[in-house]
Amino acid sequence: MFDILFTADGLVAFLTLTFLEIILGIDNIIFISLAASKLPPKHQKKATNIGLFLAMLIRIILLFGISWLVAMEAPFWHINLSWLKAGISGQGVILFVGGLFLLYKSTSEIHEKVEDKGHDERQVKKARTTSLNKAIIQICLINIVFSFDSILTAVGMTSGISPNPTDALVIMVIAVVISILIMMLFAAPVGRFVTEHPTVQLLGLAFLILIGFMLITEGAHLSHLVVFGNEIGAIPKGYLYFTIAFSLFIEFLNMRYRKTTSKIVSSVKEEDELDN
């Protein structure tokens, strides 16, 4: 069952998915922290841990449900026009709609973070509560909303990685569990790191655009969509992995450059102050 993790494709998909799950979970951590901030100090950590545990549970349940839906390969509707041919299946519909959702969610999130940085916090502050039970209920609702992009990302990263659907499910479940455990252990440092480096989160959202587009093409490919005599093909996962790895490498260089530049500027200022 776990042999897929020891293959090159499986390992790369697992590591990339775990990273994306952590990045996508940052908003969840912020929402949970805001929802718990009005509780007594002794209950805040408890509410945060319960919220993250519920996030993991909800994601795993949705993973099994969506994986079952994606497994529906038999077409239930055939389109046979002169310029358009397709065999629409449950699998194709889920991937196609999921891709559209990711495109919408990622572009709207990027817009809010760039143009309206306080949007997320204001939405939670409107419904702040001092009751632990009410806070947990609110956290559950937040988790359900934030789970869809996480699960669809997982499906997009692992679809077609193995002919056995159980292999993809194993990768998704382990990646989700590990990412949530990391957030439980390092919620504050992880949140602080992303706050100090907002481009990392924007980069993760940009990856969602790629994954959303890939899901749309994958759904069209699985439906054997033919437009004007041209059949839509699947996008090789290697292209996606290379794009993500290259983007992260460039971002790492930018972070090193900014850090070095900041040290030089600080040193020059100190020298100027000493001269004066």
CB 221 within 8 Å of CB 159 = no
- Phi, psi angle pair for 19, to nearest 5°: -60, -45
**Res 191: pLDDT:** 59
SS3 of residue 47 by DSSP: helix
**Res 123: pLDDT:** 54
| C-alpha–C-alpha distance, residues 105 and 178, integer Å | 24
> Count of H helices and E strands in the chain?
9, 4
Strand-pair partners of 87: 78
Distances (CA, A) of 206 to 219, 239, 246: 20, 15, 13
**Res 143: pLDDT:** 66
Q: Which residues of the chain have pLDDT under 50?
A: 127-129
- Write the pLDDT tens digit of every residue in 98-114: 788 878 877 887 887 77
Number of domains forming the structure of the chain:
1
Show the tokens assigned to 237: 């996962």
- Write the pLDDT tens digit of every residue in 127-148: 444 567 777 777 676 666 666 6
Domain span at 232:
3-275
Strand order of the β-sheet with 226-227 is: 75-80, 84-89, 226-227, 230-231
**Res 197: pLDDT:** 73
Mean residue pLDDT across the chain: 75
**Res 125: pLDDT:** 55
| C-alpha–C-alpha distance, residues 257 and 268, integer Å | 17
- Relative to beta strand 84-89, strand 230-231 is unpaired
Distances (CA, A) of 157 to 102, 143, 213, 218: 13, 21, 12, 11
**Res 195: pLDDT:** 63
Show the tokens assigned to 137: 């209920």
Tell me which residue of 231, 239, 181 sits closest to 214, measured CA to CA. Answer: 239
| C-alpha–C-alpha distance, residues 109 and 117, integer Å | 10
SS3 of residue 233 by DSSP: coil
Residues 66, 69, 75: CA angle, nearest 5 degrees: 150
User: Which residues are CB-contacts of 154 (< 8 A; sequence separation ≥ 6)?
Assistant: 17, 21, 63, 172, 175, 176
Residue 6 per-residue DSSP state = G
SS3 of residue 20 by DSSP: helix
Q: Which pairs with CB-CB distance under 8 Å and at least 24 residues apart come from 237-242?
A: 237/9, 237/13, 237/157, 237/160, 237/161, 240/157, 240/210, 240/211, 240/214, 241/12, 241/13, 241/16
